[in-house]
Structure 1
Amino acid sequence: MRFYISIFLTFVILSGFSAPPTPAAPEEEVTIIVELKEDTAPFISELKRRLPRLEVVAEYDTIFNGIAIRGTAEELEKLVRMDNVVNQYPVQTYRSLGEKPLSFTTEDIRNRIQSPYTGEGIKVGIIDTGIDYTHPDLEANYSGGFDTVDFDENPMETEGEGKTVHGTHVAGVIGANGEMEGIAPEAELFAYRALGPGGVGSSVQVIAALEEAVKQGMDVINLSLGNDVNGPDWPTTHAVNKAVELGVVVVVAAGNSGPDSWTVGSPATSSDAITVGASALSMKAPILKVPGERSKVAVQVLSGSQKWKLDKKYPIEYVGTGEKDLENVSGKIALFERGGIPFSQKALRAYKAGAKGVLIANNEKGMFYGGLDGLNLPIPVGAISQEAGKWLVEKAVQQNQWIETVQESLGDQVAPFSSRGPVTTSWEIKPDLLAPGVDIMSTVPGGYQALQGTSMAAPHVAGVAALMKEAHPDWNAEQVKNALTTSAQLIYNKETPFPPTQQGAGFIDVNKALDPEIVISAAPLSFGKADDTFFRKKLSFKVENLSDEPVQLQMERPKSENGESWTVPMTMEIPPGKSEEADVELRLNNAFLEEGIHEGYLTLKGDTDYQLPYVYVKERSDYNKVSGFELTQNWNDEKGGMYRFHLAEQVEKVTIDLYRSGTLLNIGTIAEIDQPRPGMIEGGAGLKNLDLKGAYLAVVTVNSNEGSDSYSFPVYIEGE
């Protein structure tokens, strides 16, 4: 009996007093908090009488009834046996949670740079929505600018209605110097506000901003903006080419209209600019699985949303466009259809109804990319394709199946939204290279925010260009571009590189761009459009040896498609400080070639291998022949209006018809153009004697020997 009692008493001693995380020595004093049944005053009086060695540290009688008390473990053990003690707690150490330290891609890139350059003394112009130059990370480097929206010298971001953050975010990536450090943290930042409320501006404002930036002596200009005109013959593209001709390095975002080909727009179509696409660095992406099904659904998290990291299976409920009250979504994933109301309203309604997550399926073929307009919710919001939405309704909603989220590693990727080339009319490869453009944390008015897009990729390259101009002040814009593209590293889709019209020369390599061994010019190799049955074209490129040692290179003969043959140069031996030109000839027999885009890489082999992108287009392809249609009024003109659009190729005739929006009542033909040549087409539109006011649809019909194609463009006419 005595043995069992001993065991019981030992158990009480060990469990009755909760020791601190690090065991105390027998004579070491510790502090605990005890919770009491009754008021503290009588208990403290009794405590002083029975256990005088204990010290009362604090009393609690408002939101908690108890005391904090200090003493040895032996004395405290006597305390916790007293009748008035409900419970006892060790004193824990608490630290301020604060915010999780921010992670910046610019920091990752700067940590890899093996040189001392910071962009000091280099002027970088940012043509955008303006800059919050009072931001603590930007105020030291902000050096001036101009506002071509309000035409004053105060290029501040739009505040209030239509507020913007875009330009400040871009500026941070280039040259923040505070909690965040940009790629070129000591560059001089100049803001040129060409986009007003809502981030919208005109060609006139963009060109005026370029003019101001060139006049004020910018070394580098960043344009994270664009339109849908996939052609080189557009005013903003010409303006960019002129800026480069005058010695400025111009970096342009490719656009966010991917993943289809022919989606890069002006001014990213400029031959001379450095056009930047977006990459997603090696990362894990959320994938949805339905039990018993082999297919999977990829989720694209909306900008501003929480990351999609649901760690349990959830039921899913289809709720249409979400315009009606949501029912039966509590504890589920709400599946919306795109349209009806903004994404942010869909997400907010789902959250208020108790949803654990939100999926928005596209209402047309393919994927889409969007944001939550500053709405901050604790649940994730993701986009899926139209096809994936229909599949989830069939396999999960209708079958009452719960869906599971898994995270799959993607490796380095071309971001799906990144616009692709080639460029119509010039048939050139765009983008020129890639930079990080997914989940990019940077400065915004009032703090920091993660955004994504080629708008975020371009300033990474603009920052690197500033470092290069500091390192090589005698380099012109072409040399900077050639060094960047020569040194870029291809990224691969499993074992095959992504094609040139998706990644250009590859992902930016800062160290090699700053100190290249060789520089290749006249690459990529754009052979154009192969219209003739037997097509033959020779292109030249030049290799400059910047090293102190001779360089030997040999071009590997590419694997030819049916109907394709190549003549490539023999071994090239280039002494230090010298350059050598070489030719590549392509011969085609169109009878054996498939229609569309043909592209790949020619390899120059040496101690280091270099890849030269090439492209050519078989006569028929899936690009739009007409883009960028504009219709403006001019009642003083003989015809009453002017039209302007880009034509991708020579056609027999173009007809422009006007329809009233909604009813599609035909107003009439306002222009006919015979045998127009490719490029920008403009002329008078017959609006003079028509009683027009309101929304209309302009239908541009193109007739060629291949048939007829029509393109619709919404227009608004103010009326007289």
Structure 2
Amino acid sequence: MRYLFLTLMTIFLLTGFSAPEPNEEVTVIVELEEKSETFIEEVERRWPRLEVVASYDTIFNGAAIRGTAAELEKVARMDAVKNQYPVHKYEALQEEGMSFSTELIRKKFQHPQTGKGVKVGIIDTGMDYNHPDLKQNFKGGYDTVDFDDDPMETKEEGATSHGTHVAGIIGADGEMKGMAPDSELYAYRALGPGGVGSSVQVIAAIEEAVEDGMDVINLSLGNDVNGPDWPTTHAVNKAIELGTVVVVAAGNSGPGGWTVGSPATSSEAITVGASALAQEAPFLKVAGERERIRIQTMAGSVPWDLTKKYPVRYVGKGDREWVNLQGKIALFERGGAPFSEKALMAYQKGAVAVLIYNNEEGAFQGGLDGVELPIPVASLSKEAGAWVKEKVVLQNQWVETVKVTLGDQVAPFSSRGPVTTNWEIKPDILAPGVNIHSTIPGGYESLQGTSMAAPHIAGIAALMKEAHPEWTPSEIKQALTSTADLVSNSKGPFPPTEQGAGFVNINEAIEPELLVEQSSLSFGKLEEKLFRKSLPLTIRNLTDKPMEITIEEPDRKKGESWTVPMTTEIPPEQTKNLKIGLHVSSAFLEDGVHEGYLKVKAEENVFTVPYVYVKEESDYEIVSGFELNPMWQNDREASYRFHLAEPIDTLRVDLYRAGTLLSAGTLLELEDLDAGLIEGELDISEKNLEGSYLAIVSVETEGKESLYPFPIYIEGK
């Protein structure tokens, strides 16, 4: 458990610590070899001026202690102290977006459950428990930022709203209705002003939530470490082991693969990706061209409701001499001036609308930062921007806007799997995460992100817990994934590493007829020429009638074959243990991720089970999460930590000063490392490190070298 104290950051902030002055007060967390009670009594007896601000004995043995650096140094030398840790920053996962109300989702619910009597813990930025939609269901909590019983959102400088928004999605009961409007809401404020917290605060919040007997915990937090053994994942696994359902946001780093970060990489947690529900979306169309270009209206913009054809004028990044845009759509490249400034200048020159296309691969989301304009402003991907320049601007064409009704979609920003090292599928399931209307201090707002998707599942888990109080966290997860509906487009279902089992089916998850214990099948990484592996598939019949089961193998690829069991009957309320075999001749398959779905036919119903395997190399990052932290006691020694996706022969870390990129020397050299979490300590007394650096981590395996940059900051005294 010594690794439980790492960051749950949305944006992975790598910061160091300066050596405190002897009389400077600091808070440190110590991990103990024994239960904390005896240790705390000894500390209070020997150093009465020290303040024990938190103690932990559920997830790990330890305590958070505040006092002078000189006295804490003495505490750190006690025999009972196993380790002590610095503080890391945390932030909340969110992205701004347009309006959409969760009430539309609740109207589909056909069962009587409301979450009554179910305790849901929200570890976040706190909660505005005076909000008229939340005050009735707010039952308590704790503030691990200030260490008191008042988990109110930050209201003054650095005001926050994230936790209140999440709480409304789960259990609002007023003008807005959450997914479980009668659930008991507990707020654990672990993130303070600006949505930033520390390891002490987050660990204390998990500890408090578990000890308070939460049935469900929602964590809309994460980092960028795509591996299963990062310490935050261990913390989540421990809470689940103790009987708590833990729901985790997948992250907002999509649409690329291998972007799910810890603790969403936990095998046991319910990892939630974001989907966009069926909606009407604007597309651009040009006469004579079959292709249509989708545009994404920016946050704060009026709707894109153009009804006529218009010419398009390319104006670069907005830094060139401005021209008359009267009656035209202005096309910008992203970069340079802020979006709002570009839009305002275009409006002043007479533009009827503004398009801003990305300056790197893929789409992006943006907002107008409070600037209100009467013309619409939308974003395009880099590829779409190039298309508009070629087909419209250069050919003097006019564009028209057409509205297209889209079915459920995987949100572009939603993080994708699989997970390195164990090669499992994540996310597990999708929920609405685009244009979600919910509570904030003083009113309501629409946000989007997987932070908004996760509380939908947390609320649904509360409904399931009310209906089946005896169900374990594993059974609740099985019911959700077994009954989910695949999300598809014109090309077929989205891949498992984008949607997991699919979009949550609220009604069937409450009363499922069948449970598949495995939410997905991971056959691992294939490195041999001939690969054979069998995995269990355990199916449970929850009905009072026999159930005939037929498993249909996936569409065969060249070099791939499957072995599936024959049709079998499962008696009422019984379980059948089956096996699925995969045989691969790797010479016939391309490197990379291979994934799809097996169909499980039960009478007239069809269930799907996602599968994945990885052949040899793929496009994941071998190194992630590198951090360097000078020890809190002094700045002569530092701890380092990073994750390896696969074994490597050699690793070297070189430091370069930010800005000048002048070399600051080689920091670290290691050899023959296995996959997983790597950590250690090193002497930096002769390096005189202070300020911002770029750490270049180079790894070499079988003669192949890869480089990975990580910004780090080391504070001075």
> TM-score, normalized by length of structure 1?
0.82
CA deviations on 1:424-466 (whole Å, 9 max, x unpaired) are 1110001111111111111122222222221111111111000
What are the within-5 Å matches in structure 2 for residues 292-303 of structure 1? 292-303=288-299
Indicate the residue corresponding to 2:542 in structure 1: 546
Instruction: Name the CA distance, whole Å, in 1 between partners of 2:271 and 2:370.
Output: 28
TM-aligned CA deviation for residue 690 of structure 1:
1.6
TM-aligned CA deviation for residue 400 of structure 1:
4.2
Indicate the residue corresponding to 2:610 in structure 1: 613
Instruction: Name the CA distance, whole Å, in 2 between partners of 1:265 and 1:306.
Output: 34
2:563 corresponds to 1:567 = yes
Query: Do the aligned partners of residues 126 and 370 (structure 1) sit closer, same or farther apart at CA in structure 2, a change above 3 Å counting?
Result: farther
> Could you say which structure has the larger radius of gyration?
1
SS at match of 2:164: helix
SS at match of 1:265: coil
2:449 corresponds to 1:442 = no
Instruction: Name the CA distance, whole Å, in 2 between partners of 1:307 and 1:151.
Output: 44
CA deviations on 1:624-681 (whole Å, 9 max, x unpaired) are 1111121222375696322211111111111111011122111111011111111111
Instruction: Name the CA distance, whole Å, in 2 between partners of 1:559 and 1:334.
Output: 47
2:469 corresponds to 1:477 = no
2:572 corresponds to 1:576 = yes
Instruction: Name the CA distance, whole Å, in 2 between partners of 1:400 and 1:686.
Output: 64
Aligned length: 619
Q: Is the 8 A contact 2:100 2:435 kept in 1?
A: no
**Equivalent in 403, 418, 422 of residue 418 of structure 2:** 422
Indicate the residue corresponding to 1:717 in structure 2: 714
**Equivalent in 687, 694, 702 of residue 697 of structure 1:** 694
**Equivalent in 256, 262, 273 of residue 260 of structure 1:** 256
Instruction: Name the CA distance, whole Å, in 1 between partners of 2:583 and 2:490.
Output: 30
Indicate the residue corresponding to 2:148 in structure 1: 152
CA deviations on 1:197-243 (whole Å, 9 max, x unpaired) are 33344455333322221121111111122111111111211111111
2:466 corresponds to 1:466 = no
Indicate the residue corresponding to 1:71 in structure 2: none
| Aligned residue type for 1:676 | L
Indicate the residue corresponding to 1:514 in structure 2: 510
CA deviations on 1:142-188 (whole Å, 9 max, x unpaired) are 11222233333322223344332222111111111011111100111
Instruction: Name the CA distance, whole Å, in 1 between partners of 2:343 and 2:642.
Output: 38
- Larger RCO (CA within 8 A; separation ≥ 6): 2
What are the within-5 Å matches in structure 2 for residues 53-132 of structure 1? 105-132=101-128
**Equivalent in 647, 650, 654 of residue 657 of structure 1:** 654
TM-aligned CA deviation for residue 319 of structure 1:
3.6
CA deviations on 1:555-609 (whole Å, 9 max, x unpaired) are 1133222222211112221111111111111122222221000111111112211
Query: Do the aligned partners of residues 285 and 564 (structure 1) sit closer, same or farther apart at CA in structure 2, a change above 3 Å counting?
Result: same
2:625 corresponds to 1:628 = yes
Instruction: Name the CA distance, whole Å, in 1 between partners of 2:370 and 2:317.
Output: 21
Indicate the residue corresponding to 1:386 in structure 2: 382
2:522 corresponds to 1:526 = yes
2:241 corresponds to 1:245 = yes
Indicate the residue corresponding to 2:663 in structure 1: 666
CA deviations on 1:525-569 (whole Å, 9 max, x unpaired) are 111111222222111121111111111101113322222221111
Q: Is the 8 A contact 1:671 1:686 kept in 2?
A: no
Instruction: Name the CA distance, whole Å, in 1 between partners of 2:342 and 2:712.
Output: 29
Q: Is the 8 A contact 1:691 1:719 kept in 2?
A: no
Q: 5+ unaligned residues in a row in structure 1: which ranges?
A: 1-101
SS at match of 1:287: strand
Query: Do the aligned partners of residues 262 and 147 (structure 1) sit closer, same or farther apart at CA in structure 2, a change above 3 Å counting?
Result: same
Query: Do the aligned partners of residues 295 and 571 (structure 1) sit closer, same or farther apart at CA in structure 2, a change above 3 Å counting?
Result: closer
2:618 corresponds to 1:643 = no
Q: Is the 8 A contact 2:99 2:445 kept in 1?
A: no
Indicate the residue corresponding to 2:162 in structure 1: 166
Query: Do the aligned partners of residues 103 and 329 (structure 1) sit closer, same or farther apart at CA in structure 2, a change above 3 Å counting?
Result: closer
CA deviations on 1:103-160 (whole Å, 9 max, x unpaired) are 8643222222221110011111112222222211111111122223333332222334
What are the within-5 Å matches in structure 2 for residues 391-406 of structure 1? 391-406=387-402
CA deviations on 1:371-399 (whole Å, 9 max, x unpaired) are 34455444322221122223333443444
Indicate the residue corresponding to 2:266 in structure 1: 270
TM-aligned CA deviation for residue 296 of structure 1:
3.1
Instruction: Name the CA distance, whole Å, in 1 between partners of 2:309 and 2:161.
Output: 36
Bigger drift between 541-550 and 102-111 goes to 102-111
SS at match of 1:205: helix
Query: Do the aligned partners of residues 374 and 553 (structure 1) sit closer, same or farther apart at CA in structure 2, a change above 3 Å counting?
Result: farther
**Equivalent in 198, 217, 224 of residue 221 of structure 1:** 217
TM-aligned CA deviation for residue 707 of structure 1:
0.7
SS at match of 1:541: strand
| Aligned residue type for 1:669 | T
Q: 5+ unaligned residues in a row in structure 2: which ranges?
A: 1-97
| Aligned residue type for 1:223 | L
Instruction: Name the CA distance, whole Å, in 1 between partners of 2:216 and 2:596.
Output: 30
2:194 corresponds to 1:231 = no
| Aligned residue type for 1:369 | Q
Query: Do the aligned partners of residues 639 and 589 (structure 1) sit closer, same or farther apart at CA in structure 2, a change above 3 Å counting?
Result: farther
Query: Do the aligned partners of residues 640 and 358 (structure 1) sit closer, same or farther apart at CA in structure 2, a change above 3 Å counting?
Result: farther
Instruction: Name the CA distance, whole Å, in 1 between partners of 2:459 and 2:321.
Output: 48
CA deviations on 1:327-359 (whole Å, 9 max, x unpaired) are 534543333332334434444444455443232
Instruction: Name the CA distance, whole Å, in 2 between partners of 1:596 and 1:470.
Output: 42
Query: Do the aligned partners of residues 476 and 564 (structure 1) sit closer, same or farther apart at CA in structure 2, a change above 3 Å counting?
Result: same
**Equivalent in 185, 202, 205 of residue 206 of structure 1:** 202
| Aligned residue type for 1:693 | E
Indicate the residue corresponding to 2:50 in structure 1: none
Instruction: Name the CA distance, whole Å, in 2 between partners of 1:107 and 1:710.
Output: 48
CA deviations on 1:393-436 (whole Å, 9 max, x unpaired) are 34434444433221122222111211111001110001111111
Query: Do the aligned partners of residues 395 and 558 (structure 1) sit closer, same or farther apart at CA in structure 2, a change above 3 Å counting?
Result: closer
2:497 corresponds to 1:501 = yes
Instruction: Name the CA distance, whole Å, in 1 between partners of 2:390 and 2:509.
Output: 51
Query: Do the aligned partners of residues 688 and 425 (structure 1) sit closer, same or farther apart at CA in structure 2, a change above 3 Å counting?
Result: same
Query: Do the aligned partners of residues 350 and 708 (structure 1) sit closer, same or farther apart at CA in structure 2, a change above 3 Å counting?
Result: same
Q: Indicate the percent of aligned positions where both proteins have the same amino acid.
A: 63
Indicate the residue corresponding to 1:321 in structure 2: 317
Instruction: Name the CA distance, whole Å, in 2 between partners of 1:348 and 1:138.
Output: 38
> TM-score, normalized by length of structure 2?
0.82
SS at match of 1:652: strand
Indicate the residue corresponding to 1:489 in structure 2: 485
Query: Do the aligned partners of residues 170 and 569 (structure 1) sit closer, same or farther apart at CA in structure 2, a change above 3 Å counting?
Result: same
CA deviations on 1:74-130 (whole Å, 9 max, x unpaired) are xxxxxxxxxxxxxxxxxxxxxxxxxxxx98643222222221110011111112222
Query: Do the aligned partners of residues 706 and 526 (structure 1) sit closer, same or farther apart at CA in structure 2, a change above 3 Å counting?
Result: farther
Instruction: Name the CA distance, whole Å, in 2 between partners of 1:133 and 1:200.
Output: 20
Query: Do the aligned partners of residues 639 and 425 (structure 1) sit closer, same or farther apart at CA in structure 2, a change above 3 Å counting?
Result: farther
SS at match of 1:544: strand
| Aligned residue type for 1:244 | I
Instruction: Name the CA distance, whole Å, in 1 between partners of 2:126 and 2:157.
Output: 15
Aligned alpha-carbon RMSD (Å): 2.2
**Equivalent in 343, 364, 367 of residue 363 of structure 2:** 367
Instruction: Name the CA distance, whole Å, in 2 between partners of 1:440 and 1:368.
Output: 18
SS at match of 1:580: strand
TM-aligned CA deviation for residue 495 of structure 1:
5.7
Instruction: Name the CA distance, whole Å, in 2 between partners of 1:631 and 1:300.
Output: 39
Indicate the residue corresponding to 2:58 in structure 1: none
Query: Do the aligned partners of residues 637 and 683 (structure 1) sit closer, same or farther apart at CA in structure 2, a change above 3 Å counting?
Result: farther
